[in-house]
C-alpha cells in the first residue's frame, strides 16, 4: 500500500509539518509519496529519496514536478512532452499541521474530490481547531474542562485573578501562549497572542498540574489506544519543547495512574472521539487535578502522528486505512424539478 503524505500549507505551523512529515520515513514501512503545499498553495511532488528540510528553506523544492488535484487523486505534468499523469497512491495522510490541514480546508478538498484520507473530517476539524468550540463540545459529551473566558481583539479584556494562561483560539504547538502572573504582564501577552489570532481564551494557570497524553483511533468500531504518557516536566510545554516532538520516533515511557484514572482518561477520550473523529488518529492531552480528569486540548493531527505512543504504529495505521468511514450516498433524482415541470406543462 502506498501512502501519499500531504504536508506544508499556509499555516504558522508550516515548518513543523515539514519536520513531522520527514520523520514518517522512519515510522511507516509503506512506500511513500510526498505532496508539498507551499506558501502560495502550489503543490509539488517531492521524491521520498530526495526529501530533506533544506529543500524547503532554500526553495529547491520548485525543481520537482508541480502537482494538482482533480477527481480521484493528484496529478502532475512531467516528461519531455509534458504529459499529464496520475501520482500513484492508495490513501492520503494529511500531515499539514495548523491552518489548511487542521481547520478543515484540506479535508473538505479531499472529500470533494473523493480521495480517501486519514485525518479528521471537516466538522471534526472545526471542533478541534478552535479552542473555544472544543470547550463547548467537550462539555456537551460530559468531559471536564477548566473554566475559561473568551475574548476577541476589540473587547475590553479584564482579568480578576492571576496567574492565568492566555492562548490564541486557533493555534497549536503552544504558539502565542503565555503564562501571565500579574497585570503588568497582561498587555504584552495580549499583544503576542493577537499577532497570531483575533480571539483568545484565558484560563486559570494551575502550577504543578500533571498532564497526560493519550492517542487513539477506532477500527472496526473498536477503540485502539496508545500508552498513557506523562510529557517532560516544565512550567508548561512551550513551542521549542513541543517542536522537538514533531520529529520524534523513539518510543515514549508509559505511566500507570492506577485503574481508576487510567479508565477515566480512556473514557474521556472515547466520549471526545465518538463518531466525530472516525478516520483519524488523534491525541488528547488531559490534566489531572485532585484526582479529576480535565481535557486540555485535542490534537487532531498530532506531531509525527503520535507514533511514539504506540507499540506497533505501522500495523494500526494500515488497519485504519482499511476501515475509513464510507461516504453516504445521496441520490440525485431531479424528482422535485420534474414535478414542477410536469405541473407547468398541464
φ, ψ dihedrals at 212, nearest 5°: -135, 140
Please list the residues that pair with 218 across neighbouring strands.
223
Would the pLDDT of 80 be above 90?
A: no
pLDDT exceeds cutoff 70 at 177: yes
Q: What is the pLDDT of residue 243?
A: 45
How do residues 100-130 score in pLDDT, each as one tens digit? 999 999 999 999 999 999 999 999 999 999 9
- pLDDT reported for residue 220: 95
Cell numbers for 152:
476577541
β-strand pairing of 222-229 with 282-289: unpaired
* Superfamily of the domain at 126-144+208-321: ATP-grasp fold, B domain (3.30.470.20)
Cα gap 199→302, rounded to integer Å: 23
Mean pLDDT of 167-184: 86
Which residues, listed in sequence order, are joined to residue 213 by a DSSP beta bridge?
Answer: 229, 285
Q: Are 250 and 20 in contact (CB under 8 A)?
A: no
252 has a pLDDT exceeding 60: yes
Query: In angstroms, rounded to a whole number, what is the distance separating the alpha carbons of residues 218 and 271?
Result: 12
Owner of C-alpha cell 477500527 = 219
Domain locations in the chain as residue ranges: 2-119, 126-144+208-321, 149-204
Cell of 123: 466538522
**Tens digits of per-residue pLDDT, 126-170?**
999 999 999 999 999 999 999 999 999 989 998 989 999 999 998
C-alpha distances in angstroms, 316 versus 45, 218, 224, 241? Answer: 26, 10, 8, 27
In angstroms, the Cα distances linking 139 to 41, 194, 297 are: 36, 26, 13
Mean pLDDT rounded to a whole number for the chain: 91
| pLDDT, position 345 | 65
Q: Has residue 245 got a pLDDT over 90?
A: no
What pLDDT shows up at residue 176? Answer: 84
Grid coordinates given for 313: 504504529
pLDDT of residue 155: 93
* Global pTM value: 0.90
- Residue 274: how many CB atoms within 10 A of its CB? 13
Q: Which of 328, 295, 314 is nearest to 121 (CA)?
A: 328
In tens, the pLDDT along 286-343 reads: 999 999 999 999 999 999 999 999 999 999 999 999 999 988 889 999 999 988 888 8
What cell does 4 get? 501519499
pLDDT tens column, 34-73: 999 999 999 999 999 999 999 999 999 999 999 999 988 9
Which residues are 299's β-sheet partners? 283
Residue 241 has pLDDT above 60, yes or no: no
Using an 8 Å Cβ cutoff, are 48 and 33 in contact?
yes
The pLDDT of residue 346 is 56
| Residue 12 confidence (pLDDT) | 86
Instruction: Read off the C-alpha cell for 202.
Output: 484565558
Output DSSP code: residue 161.
S
| Burial of 156 from C-beta contacts in 10 A (0-12 / 13-18 / 19+) | exposed
Angstrom distance (rounded) from CA 134 to CA 40: 29
pLDDT per residue as tens digits for the range 220-237: 999 999 999 998 755 554
Q: What is the CATH number of domain 2-119?
A: 3.40.50.20
Q: Which pLDDT does position 175 carry in this prediction?
A: 80
Out of 1.20.1600.10, 3.40.50.300, 3.40.50.720, 3.30.1490.20, the CATH code matching 149-204 is: 3.30.1490.20
Amino acid at each position: 500500500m502506498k501512502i501519499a503524505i500531504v504536508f506544508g500549507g499556509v499555516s504558522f505551523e508550516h515548518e513543523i509539518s515539514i519536520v513531522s512529515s520527514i520523520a514518517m520515513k522512519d515510522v511507516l514501512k509503506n512506500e511513500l509519496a510526498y505532496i508539498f503545499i507551499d506558501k502560495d498553495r502550489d503543490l509539488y511532488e517531492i521524491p521520498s529519496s530526495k526529501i530533506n528540510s533544506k529543500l524547503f528553506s532554500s526553495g529547491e523544492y520548485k525543481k520537482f514536478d508541480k502537482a494538482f488535484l482533480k477527481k480521484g487523486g493528484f496529478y502532475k505534468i512531467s516528461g519531455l512532452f509534458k504529459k499529464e499523469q496520475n501520482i500513484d497512491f492508495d490513501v492520503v495522510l494529511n500531515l499539514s499541521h495548523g491552518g489548511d490541514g487542521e481547520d478543515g480546508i484540506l479535508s473538505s478538498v479531499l472529500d470533494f474530490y473523493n480521495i480517501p484520507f486519514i485525518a479528521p473530517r471537516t466538522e471534526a476539524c472545526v471542533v478541534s481547531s478552535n479552542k473555544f468550540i472544543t470547550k463547548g463540545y467537550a462539555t456537551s459529551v460530559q468531559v471536564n474542562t477548566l473554566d475559561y473566558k473568551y475574548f476577541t481583539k476589540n473587547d475590553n479584556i479584564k482579568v480578576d485573578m492571576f496567574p492565568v494562561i492566555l492562548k490564541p483560539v486557533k493555534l497549536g504547538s503552544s504558539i502565542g501562549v503565555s503564562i501571565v502572573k500579574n497585570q503588568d504582564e497582561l498587555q504584552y501577552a495580549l499583544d503576542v497572542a493577537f499577532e497570531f489570532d483575533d480571539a483568545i481564551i484565558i484560563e486559570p494557570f494551575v502550577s504543578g498540574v500533571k498532564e497526560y497524553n493519550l492517542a487513539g483511533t477506532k477500527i472496526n468500531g473498536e477503540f485502539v489506544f496508545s500508552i498513557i504518557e506523562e510529557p517532560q516536566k516544565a512550567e508548561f510545554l512551550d513551542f521549542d519543547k513541543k517542536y522537538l516532538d514533531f520529529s520524534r520516533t523513539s518510543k515514549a515511557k508509559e505511566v500507570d495512574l492506577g485503574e481508576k484514572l487510567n479508565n477515566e482518561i480512556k473514557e474521556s477520550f472515547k466520549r471526545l472521539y465518538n463518531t466525530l473523529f472516525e478516520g483519524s488518529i488523534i491525541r488528547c492531552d488531559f490534566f489531572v487535578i485532585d484526582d479529576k480528569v480535565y481535557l486540555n486540548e485535542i490534537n487532531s493531527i498530532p506531531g509525527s502522528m503520535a507514533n511514539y505512543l504506540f507499540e506497533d504504529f505501522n500495523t494500526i495505521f494500515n488497519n485504519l486505512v482499511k476501515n475509513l468511514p464510507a461516504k453516504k450516498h445521496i441520490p440525485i433524482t431531479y424528482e422535485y424539478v420534474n414535478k414542477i415541470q410536469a405541473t407547468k406543462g398541464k
